[in-house]
Chain A
């Protein structure tokens, strides 16, 4: 009987190759792999044709899905190769690490204060699988420094991963780690001790079951601890009294990007794409790699000839020999590519890094694997809508008039509501609300987020509805709820919409703050407009809008009284939006009520002059007051008795956004002109900044015209005659109207008259 301990580096292609050859030679009858025991069940899928690495075993607590651990495997992971060997040769494979039922319990005992943090924020990706490497990275440094390297990782690569001839490699690894563990014994902690004790327990068990040749694949750091067996009693004492929690496991697809350092994995490998290459082409001298680089460059329209490749490979080889290496590594190849292919520009290296060194490969998982219901539902939908999870960035333009596209859009919007940001909605060029531009990029941790949200329901629709309803219940302000509503409408969730509308109604009735209502109204109106494309029932929404507008009409005039300048400016902005909203809804009674409200504000003596001026303007635009009434109001606002500052502010309100009215309406012009001329000098100086602010908002051409007009009048010239509107022939003009309406896309003439004059 024999036990063979193979110390490896997780995700090391060299280690993987060594493990493979070693196992083929040894022909063991039992393989033990470092990994959570709960994963044993999943191993029966290992030969399934749809299980393609990179994949990960996901283990989570069903009661607390946020508490999860990933065990990623790439094709070049030694563990994966061991599992494959077992499956092809019908050798039993077992995971031997401390079961997660204990570890989770143990860890939550230790880290209970931090738990609150864990359930929110970024998805918890624990560095479980690579932590062995992480742990001994520092110790490796000692060996590396002794060998004259400045980096433990590089030293390991050079010593163990890039070798071609590896007869006694595992003995050498064991030897090195033993030396390290002797000099650095204080690195042990309780989790480590427990894990190693459990691994020993598993080895003993396999022995007892009568297996003759046992191969043990574990992180190099653990190798010495498994070779020297302490007394069985001691280990059992250690493992006694551990509490348990429930744990579930499943396979999920993983990406190379996630395996790399850059994505915040904590510990991982820098260059999964390169390792993939090394695994598939172990004898490549750089030619194959450089050809890939050249092909990549050509695909991006960077001219790269065969001669370039030849030169780059040669340079890489000279560099390797200069550094005393038997073979050009990634460093040499990169530097050669930089000097030969990129003309020294490091920016192009970044392209190589993204596309080749890391590469956006994603694994697949058989759909038959049992998974939490919500995850299953999402995956089924992905399949049905032909939207596979992909690692790279993918653009998707949806035409919502097609039912498949509409379903895709709904699907993406629903995921967004669950905070799964797989799709990012982009700005879409061109007009029309029927198009949506999405950018998709799948991250493996979305799987865990989906599982986490599984407590809200078993199908996506159900989960989102529940989740949104809950959010709405917790939201305290109208703004939050109406924001949610905007997001829910494109996700087509009638029940969630209902819940939100009810919530809005409740909040709107309770709020005493008319400003809050004003803020929400435009987005609600936009939401109701979406109903044109989507078949959401908008009756209810319209009802709410009407009641809200009614409330606004009642409480707006008092809200415009005795307010400071800032508040007045805010209100004018809202007035503007609201009057657009009302024009959009186009309900006659409502419009009437709105005009009456505006009249009240305009006539109110204590109303802020800015608001009052703007209300007058809105009324004039809508032709509710005729030019005579307008003139009267103008005269009143600018009369001598009035405080000049208030008058200026009124004018600012009235002229907000456009000065063409002044140019076109002679009577208004002369009123303003006279008012300015009659100002006392100190008043004029005091008002100058205010007036300047008003006029600076006009377009350049308007300002020039106004200036010219003022000068002409001062010079005693007759002002420029404007086109007399009464000279139009109404019958002929009317003949042109249908065409104009058609051009503007307006069907009813009612809207046309709402437009500003």
Chain B
């Protein structure tokens, strides 16, 4: 077992990628490690010709992934859009891993992301000592990706200031990155493309300009359609967490996961699953990703402080933490939910008690 806390997708799923490449008979676009069909199989899972089972990375609509992969074969960039926690970064990581075998060409977008981190920067010591030269140039992931013909990832595109966002326009339309200081330019090698992610719930985002928007094909990743799908996602991700964290806790019972997913779905929808009771909606998004983290932290609690089995008290703190994001409003929402929905459910008594014990 490696000592790395979290491995990159291409390392974690190296075996799968290898098998896919071996069994891939379809045409590959230039500089792609596998054919678009194989990339879709890698993300959606499936059985290969030689019987090798590829695990699904994205659980949901296959057509969305097909659109995403097909977009990357054209010269438009891909924008994954959606609520926080709908597997945008996850999909982008796996796409990059499958197509370029490298998911590390990444820029994290923040309000402070500057032009230097998108285009190129200067090693000032060298710049002062030797004057402008290619050696004094600090290459960004974008520049590296263009030179190598790889997929570059840009996280949280809409958090970057509009002026910096727009530096992408030349890169995406002309596929070139001019360096006027050295009177040169970097022209993108075939295979280069960009996957950006952005979420539509955040406050204080910078809307994309019309010109930039036109360079992207947009794919909206939705919240899971059905209860079963969501439970499936949580279970798979939690199992992979066990693998990474080597937790001694017993694998969580599906029933336990089902309860959490139920709570999250009900609060998100503002109505109980049977459609009978209306509920207030908390301010947080309550995405699937948060459900996953609640189960994970519950398992850690059970392993280190409990008896190794995932029980309601281990989960309670996590649930409350995820739901109550605003101490005043969300608390009322949660208490109402606890008293009107959780309490009357007979088999939920343990959760009710555990949450009450927390005193929130």
Contact = CB atoms under 8 A, between A and B. Distances in A.
Nearest to A324: B37
Contact of B76 (A315, A331, A335): A315
Given A311-B76, A314-B74, A319 B213 contact: no
Given A322-B36, A340-B76, A311 B217 contact: yes
Contacts of A307: 214
Contacts of A322: 36-37, 40, 66, 69-70, 73
B32 interface: no
A335 B213 contact: no
Contacts of B317: none
Contacts of A321: 36
- Main DSSP-derived SS at the B contact region: helix
A335 B71 contact: no
A318 B219 contact: no
A345 B66 CA distance: 17
B70 A318 contact: yes
Nearest to B39: A322
B210 interface: yes
B83 interface: no
Interface string B32-59: 0000110010000000000000000000
Nearest to B63: A335
Given A322-B36, A322-B37, A344-B219, A315 B67 contact: yes
B335 interface: no
Interface string A326-344: 0000010001101110111
B63 A308 contact: no
Nearest to B76: A311
Contacts of B67: 315, 319, 335-336, 338-339
Contacts of A89: none
B38 to A, nearest CB: 11
A335 B74 CA distance: 14
A50 interface: no
A380 interface: no
B117 interface: no
Given A339-B217, A344-B81, A344-B219, A323 B66 contact: yes
Interface in A335-375: 335-336, 338-340, 342-346
Interface string B194-225: 00000000000000001001100111100000
Contacts of B66: 319, 322-323, 335
A349 to B, nearest CB: 12
A321 B66 CA distance: 11
Contact of B74 (A311, A324, A342): A311
A708 interface: no
A206 to B, nearest CB: 49
Highest count of chain A CB atoms <10 Å: which of B63, B67, B71, B210: B67
A319 B73 CA distance: 9
B220 A345 contact: yes
Interface residues of A, number: 24
A96 B130 CA distance: 93
Highest count of chain A CB atoms <10 Å: which of B69, B74, B218: B74
A344 B40 contact: no
B70 A343 contact: no
Interface string A293-320: 0000000000101011001001100110
A666 to B, nearest CB: 51
A338 B220 CA distance: 10
A671 B73 CA distance: 89
Contacts of B63: 331, 335
Contacts of A331: 63
Given A343-B218, A344-B220, A315 B213 contact: no
A315 B81 contact: no
B46 to A, nearest CB: 13
A336 B81 CA distance: 16
B40 A339 contact: no
A331 B79 CA distance: 20
A306 to B, nearest CB: 11
Contacts of B37: 322, 324
A307 B74 CA distance: 13
Interface in B234-272: none
Given A340-B76, A344-B81, A315 B217 contact: yes
A343 B214 CA distance: 9
A315 B71 contact: yes
B73 A343 contact: no
Given A319-B66, A322-B37, A344-B81, A339 B219 contact: yes
B150 to A, nearest CB: 19
B158 to A, nearest CB: 13
A517 B270 CA distance: 48
Contact of A318 (B74, B81, B213): B74
B70 A315 contact: yes
A339 B218 contact: yes
A522 to B, nearest CB: 39
Nearest to B81: A344
A345 B217 CA distance: 12
Interface of A: 303, 305, 307-308, 311, 314-315, 318-319, 321-324, 331, 335-336, 338-340, 342-346
Interface of B: 36-37, 40, 63, 66-67, 69-71, 73-74, 76, 79, 81, 210, 213-214, 217-220
17 contacts: A303-B210, A308-B214, A311-B74, A311-B76, A315-B76, A315-B217, A318-B36, A318-B70, A322-B36, A322-B40, A322-B69, A323-B66, A331-B63, A335-B67, A339-B219, A344-B218, A346-B220
Given A305-B214, A318-B74, A335-B63, 15 more contacts: A314-B74, A314-B76, A315-B71, A319-B67, A321-B36, A322-B36, A322-B70, A322-B73, A323-B66, A336-B67, A339-B71, A339-B219, A340-B76, A342-B218, A343-B213
Which are the 7 A-B pairs with shortest beta-carbon distances?
Answer: A344-B218, A344-B220, A318-B70, A339-B217, A319-B70, A343-B218, A318-B73
